[in-house]
Chain A
Amino acid sequence: MTAQATQARPLLAVEGLDVVLGHGWQANHVLSDVNLKIWPGEIVGLVGETGSGKTTLARTVVGLIRPRNGRIVFDGAEISRLRGGARRRERRSGHVQLIFQDPLRSLDPDLTVAQIVGEGLAIRGGIGSQEIRSRVEDALAKVGLDSTVLYRQPGQISGGQRQRVSIARALASDPSLLLCDEPVSALDASNRNYILRLLSELRDTLDLPIIIISHDLSSLAGIADRAVVLYRGRIVEDGPVSQVFSAPRHPYTALLMASAPSVKHDRSLSVQQLRRTAADPPSPSAPSACVFAARCPFAIDSCAEQPALVPVAPDWSAACHRHEEWAGLARSRTSAARKG
C-alpha cells in the first residue's frame, strides 16, 4: 500500500503470534506464527472458515485471550502483556474497539441504546452526563441512527439497527482501530451492504483503519483494501484485494472464491478444479506438512514441510510451495475433470 511507503510504523503489528486454547490433552493450537501489520486508514478483510482462528485472532488482539508466544504492538506500545489495572487503563482509552458478531448477544437486552452507546464513556469517568449524551447522539448519527432509538432496547429495534448500535458503541470511544467480527453474517443482503458501506464511509471520513472478519469474499471485495486469508490458524495469503482476488496465489484462496455463491457465473476456476478427488495422489500427512495439504489437489512431496509466508509480489505474500505453478495445473484439470 502507499501508506506503507509514507509511514514507517504500522498502527498495529502482530508478531509471531501463537495461541493455544485448552490445557493438556485438550490443548488446541488455534493460531500459529501469525504476523500481521495494519496501516493507518486501510480496511483489511480477514477471511477464513470456521476453525481458521480468525475470531481468536481478533479476541487476542483486544486482550480477551492471552497468547502463548508473540507480541501485539499498538502504536508502538506492546499491549499483549498488560495486566490488571494497566490493561483496564489501556481499554478505557478506547483505542482498539471490537464489534461482536451477534449484536443480540453483545448488547445488554435490559439497557437502552443510550446506555449501551454511552457505557464506555461512563466507565471512563470524568465526563458529564450532558457531554455523554451529546457524544452518544454524535456516535449514533455517524451510523445513521437518530435520537428516536435512544430509549429503545436492543429487542425493540431491527437486526440492522442493532448492528449499527453496536458500531456506534465502538465509535463513541473515539477508537483508532476497529475490529469487526463477522459484522454482517446475520443480516440479509441489503442490510449487509448497508453496514459494509457504513464501515467504508467511516474509514473515509474518520481515517479509521478497520479489520473486517468475514467469510463473504464477494461483499468484502467491494470495500476492503487488503485481504488476509487464514487457514487452520495460519495466514496463507496476504495482499491487496484487487490482486489477490484476480489471481490468488494460494489454492485455498481460489477455492474460497470459487465456492462463493454468486448471481453471475463467470468464474475463472471452478470448484471441481480446486477440490481434491480420489484420483489425486495422496497428500503428505506428516505433522509438519502444509496445513492445506490434506485438501489440496496440488500437494507434492515438498508440501510435507509447512511453507513460510513469502513475498510473491510487492506487498503480497503467500504460503505455498507451488504458488507459481498450481494455477496452471488447475486449468489443465478442467479437461481431465470433464473427460472423467
Chain B
Amino acid sequence: MTGNPPPDEVLGIEDLHVTVHDGAATAVRGVTLSVRTGEIVGLVGESGSGKTLTCRAALGVLPPGCDIRHGRIAFGHQDVTDLSRRGWERLHGTGMGAVFQDPTSYLNPNLTVGGQLAEVLRVKQKLRRHQAHRKAIGLFTAVGLHNPGHVFHQIPSELSGGMLQRVMIAIAISCDPRLLIADEATTALDVTIQAEVIELLRELRDQRGLAVLFVSHDLAVIRELCDRVVVFYAGEVVETGPVEQIIERPRHPYTQALLRVASVGDFQRRQLEVIPGQPPRVGEETTGCRFAERCPAAVPKCLAGPVDLSTLAPGHHARCIRATDPELALITAGQSAAGQSAAAAEMAAR
C-alpha cells in the first residue's frame, strides 16, 4: 500500500486525517485507499464512520468546520491535498464528477434539466449552443433516459427520482471525467430503479473506463456493484479487498458482523441479527482496536496498542490482530447464535 502508486491509479488517498468541529475531533483517522481506472471501489460503514467525509475530502467539498489535518490526496499524478478553490472548480466536472443522494437539491427547479446540462457543457467545454444541445441529447441517451429529446425540455419536478438521478449522472459524466464519486447515490431510489442505476454505472465503467468511488451504508448494494470494497469503522479502514473475497471470507469481525446484518436474497423468515453496542463517538479516543468493545472475539491484547492493517492476501488487508486466527470466524459465527440472545437481553435492559 505504500511506495509508488500504480500507473493507472486515478485517486490515491494516503494516511488521510480529517478533523471536524474546527479541529475539536478527528473523524477520519489515517485512511489510505486508491481507485484505478475502470475500477469500482465501494466504501461501506455505519453512519458516522467517516466514509462520507473521506469522499468529500477527495472531492474538495468538505463541510465547514472540517479540515484535512494530515495526509495526501492525489488525483492522477496531481497532488490535490491543498488545491485552491479555483483549482477544484477546474477539476470538478472535467476530472471528476459527483452524484449525491438527493438530486433535487443540485438542480435548479425552474430550469429544464437539458438546459442545465447544456450549460455545463458550454461553460466547461466551450461548446456552442447547438453542439451542447446535441451532446446533451447524446448523454441523456447514454444514461438510459427514454425519449431524451422530451426529457431535455422538462424541469426537475416533472421527472421521477430515478430519472433525476440519471440526469445527475449525465451531468457528472458530461465532460468525460476519469473518476465518478457517488455518495449514497442509490439510497433514496426504489429497488427496481436502484438496480437499473447500478447497471448503468457498471456499463459506464465498461464503456468509458470510468473509475467509480461508491459510498453506501448497504453492503448488499456494494456487493452488487463494486470490484473492491473498503470497510470503514469509527474513522478507520478496518478491512479492504476484492468484493468476492470480503463477502466469502471476511477477516475482520466488524465486516463479519456487517455481513450478518446485510440483506440476504433468500427471502426466508429468519432471526434478524444486530450488531450489539454502539460505535465510539466521533473524536472519541480509544487505545487499541476501536471495535474491541463490540467484538465477540476481543482478547486483552486487542486493547494493548494501535492495530495496523495486516496483509492477508495480495490486495486484502484487515485491521485485526486475530485476522489470521482460524478460530475467529467460529467465534463470531457462534456469537450470532449465542451472542444474539445476549443482544436480546441487552435490548431488554437498555
Contacts and interface: CB of A to CB of B under 8 A. Distances in A.
The reply, when asked whether chain A contacts chain B directly with Cβ atoms under 8 A, is yes
Contact of A271 (B195, B267, B268): B195
A217 interface: yes
Interface stretch (B1-9, B75-83, B213-221): B213-221
B272 A193 contact: yes
Nearest to A140: B350
B224 interface: yes
Contact of B267 (A158, A194, A197, A221): A221
Interface in B153-179: 160-161
A257 B263 CA distance: 12
Interface stretch (B10-18, B65-73, B186-194, B312-320): B186-194
A265 interface: yes
Contacts of A49: 190-193
Given A190-B274, A263-B220, A221 B268 contact: yes
Contact of B347 (A50, A144, A219, A256): A144
A262 B263 contact: yes
B46 A188 contact: yes
A260 interface: yes
Question: A50, A216, A246: which has the most chain B beta carbons within 10 Å?
Answer: A50
Interface stretch (B55-63, B127-135, B254-262): B254-262
Nearest to A49: B190
B265 A266 contact: yes
Interface residues of A, number: 45
B220 to A, nearest CB: 4
Give the interface residue-count category, chain B. Answer: 35 or more
Contacts of B199: 271
Contacts of A260: 191, 220, 263, 265
Nearest to A267: B265
Contacts of B227: none
A266 B264 CA distance: 10
A281 interface: no
Interface in A260-317: 260-267, 271
Contact of A242 (B47, B198, B221, B269): B269
Nearest to A227: B267
Given A196-B272, A219-B272, A189 B267 contact: no
Interface in A174-233: 188-194, 196-198, 200, 215-219, 221-223
B265 A193 contact: no
A159 interface: yes
B217 A262 contact: no
Contacts of B217: 188-189
A189 B262 contact: yes
B275 interface: yes
B347 A261 contact: no
B192 A218 contact: no
B223 to A, nearest CB: 5
B98 to A, nearest CB: 22
Interface string B199-236: 10000000000000000011111011000000000000
B267 A198 contact: no
A256 B272 contact: no
B348 interface: yes
Nearest to B162: A50
A189 B195 contact: no
B247 interface: yes
A144 B350 contact: yes
B247 A263 contact: yes
Contacts of B47: 159, 188
A271 B47 CA distance: 30
B261 A246 contact: no
B22 interface: no
A123 B194 CA distance: 42
Contacts of B285: none
B263 A256 contact: no
B221 A261 contact: yes
Nearest to A52: B190
A44 interface: no
A138 to B, nearest CB: 13
A193 B258 CA distance: 11
A218 B263 contact: yes
B244 to A, nearest CB: 10
B283 to A, nearest CB: 16
Contacts of A194: 272, 274, 347
A330 interface: no
Contact of A222 (B221, B259, B272, B347): B272
B220 A146 contact: no
A111 interface: no
A190 to B, nearest CB: 4
A196 B262 CA distance: 13
A165 interface: no
Contacts of A144: 347-348, 350
A146 B350 contact: yes
Contacts of B325: none
Contacts of A50: 160-161, 190
A261 B189 CA distance: 12
A267 to B, nearest CB: 6
B192 A256 contact: yes
A13 to B, nearest CB: 26
Interface of A: 49-51, 144-146, 158-159, 188-194, 196-198, 200, 215-219, 221-223, 241-242, 245-246, 255-267, 271
20 contacts: A49-B191, A49-B193, A50-B161, A51-B160, A158-B278, A189-B219, A190-B46, A190-B261, A193-B274, A197-B347, A222-B272, A223-B269, A242-B269, A245-B268, A255-B192, A258-B195, A260-B191, A260-B265, A263-B259, A271-B192
Given A50-B160, A223-B269, A241-B267, 17 more contacts: A144-B347, A146-B349, A159-B47, A189-B219, A198-B347, A218-B220, A221-B267, A222-B270, A222-B271, A255-B192, A258-B195, A261-B191, A262-B265, A263-B259, A265-B265, A266-B265, A271-B199
Interface of B: 46-47, 160-161, 190-195, 198-199, 217-221, 223-224, 247, 257-259, 261-275, 278, 347-350
Task: Please list the 8 inter-chain residue pairs (A to B) with the smallest Cβ-Cβ separation, ordered nearest first.
Answer: A262-B265, A245-B267, A218-B263, A49-B190, A261-B220, A193-B272, A259-B195, A221-B267
